[in-house]
Amino acid sequence: MSKKLYIETVGCQMNVLDSELVVGGLRRDGYELTHEAVDADVILFNTCSVREHAEEKIYSALGRLVGHKKSHPDKVIGVIGCMAQKDQELIRRRAPHVDMVVGTGQLGQIPSLVKVVQETRQPQYALSLGRAEAGKKDVEASFESYDPVRDPSMRPTSFQAFVRIQIGCDKFCTYCVVPSTRGPEQSRHPNQIWGEVKQLADEGCKEITLLGQTVNSYEFEHGDGRRTRLSDLIAGMHEVPGIERIKFVTNYPKDMTDDLLDAVRELPKAVKYLHVPVQSGCNEVLKRMKRMYSVEFYREMLQRCREKVPGVAISSDFIVGFCGETEEAFQKTCDLVRESRFKNSFIFKYSKRPGTKADDLYPDDIPEEVKKRRNNDLLAIQNANSLADHKSKVGETVSVLVEGPSKLGMKQTSGPIQLAGRSMTDHIVVFDGNPRLIGQTIDVRVHEASPFTLYGQAVTTDLQKTETWSEPVSYPKDPANDRRLGLPLV
Ligand code: 5AD
Ligand code: SF4
Residue 154 lies in a domain: no
- Looking at residues 340-358, what average pLDDT do you find? 97
The number of distinct structural domains making up the chain is 2
Question: What pLDDT shows up at residue 413?
Answer: 81
d(CA 169, ligand 1 centre) in Å: 14
Residue 315 lies in a domain: no
Residue 427 lies in a domain: yes
Residue 310 lies in a domain: no
What CATH number is attached to the domain comprising 118?
3.40.50.12160
Question: What pLDDT shows up at residue 132?
Answer: 87
Residue 205 lies in a domain: no
As a whole number, the mean pLDDT across the chain is: 91
Cβ contacts of 407 within 8 Å, gap of 6 or more? none
pLDDT over 90 for what percent of the chain?
83
β-pair partners for 457 = 445
252 lines ligand 2 (CB under 6 A): yes
Question: Which of 140, 170, 185 lies at the terminal end of a domain, its last residue?
Answer: 140
What CATH number is attached to the domain comprising 409?
2.40.50.140
Question: What pLDDT shows up at residue 474?
Answer: 42
pLDDT digits (tens, 9 = 90+) for 255-275: 999 999 999 999 999 999 999
319 lines ligand 1 (CB under 6 A): yes
Q: Which residue's CA is the nearest one to ligand 2's atom 7?
A: 171
Nearest atom within ligand 1 for CA of residue 489: 15
Question: Which of 106, 140, 174 lies at the terminal end of a domain, its last residue?
Answer: 140
- Looking at residues 298-310, what average pLDDT do you find? 98
Residue 282 lies in a domain: no
What band does 38 get if pLDDT is binned at 50, 70 and 90? very high
The predicted model scores a pTM of 0.93
Question: What pLDDT shows up at residue 466?
Answer: 44
The enclosing H or E element of 248 equals: strand 245-249
CB 422 within 8 A of CB 414: no
The enclosing H or E element of 163 equals: strand 160-164
Question: How crowded is residue 175: how many other Cβ atoms within 10 Å of its Cβ?
Answer: 25
Q: Rounded CA gap, 454 and 464, in Å?
A: 21
Question: Which of 105, 124, 140 lies at the terminal end of a domain, its last residue?
Answer: 140
| Residue 406 structural domain | 397-483
d(CA 164, ligand 1 centre) in Å: 20
Task: Find the ligand nearest to 251 CA.
Answer: 2
The enclosing H or E element of 66 equals: helix 66-71
Question: What pLDDT shows up at residue 472?
Answer: 41
What band does 244 get if pLDDT is binned at 50, 70 and 90? very high
Q: What is the DSSP letter of 272?
A: S
- Looking at residues 3-7, what average pLDDT do you find? 96
Question: What pLDDT shows up at residue 324?
Answer: 98
Question: What pLDDT shows up at residue 470?
Answer: 42
Please work out, in degrees rounded to the nearest 5, the angle formed at the alpha carbon of residue 353 by the alpha carbons of 348 and 357.
110
Question: How crowded is residue 340: how many other Cβ atoms within 10 Å of its Cβ?
Answer: 18
Q: Select the more confidently predicted residue: 462 or 237.
A: 237
pLDDT digits (tens, 9 = 90+) for 183-199: 999 999 999 999 999 99
Question: What pLDDT shows up at residue 461?
Answer: 60
Give whole-number Cα distances, 398 to 17, 311, 343, 394, 395, in Å.
Answer: 29, 13, 16, 10, 10
Task: Find the ligand nearest to 489 CA.
Answer: 1
Question: What pLDDT shows up at residue 151?
Answer: 72
Residue 260 lies in a domain: no
213 lines ligand 2 (CB under 6 A): yes
pLDDT digits (tens, 9 = 90+) for 422-443: 999 999 999 999 999 999 999 9
Residue 71 lies in a domain: yes
264 lines ligand 2 (CB under 6 A): no
- Looking at residues 398-420, what average pLDDT do you find? 91
pLDDT digits (tens, 9 = 90+) for 325-346: 999 999 999 999 999 999 999 9
Query: Which stretches of 82-148 are assigned E, i.e. beta strand?
Result: 100-102, 124-126
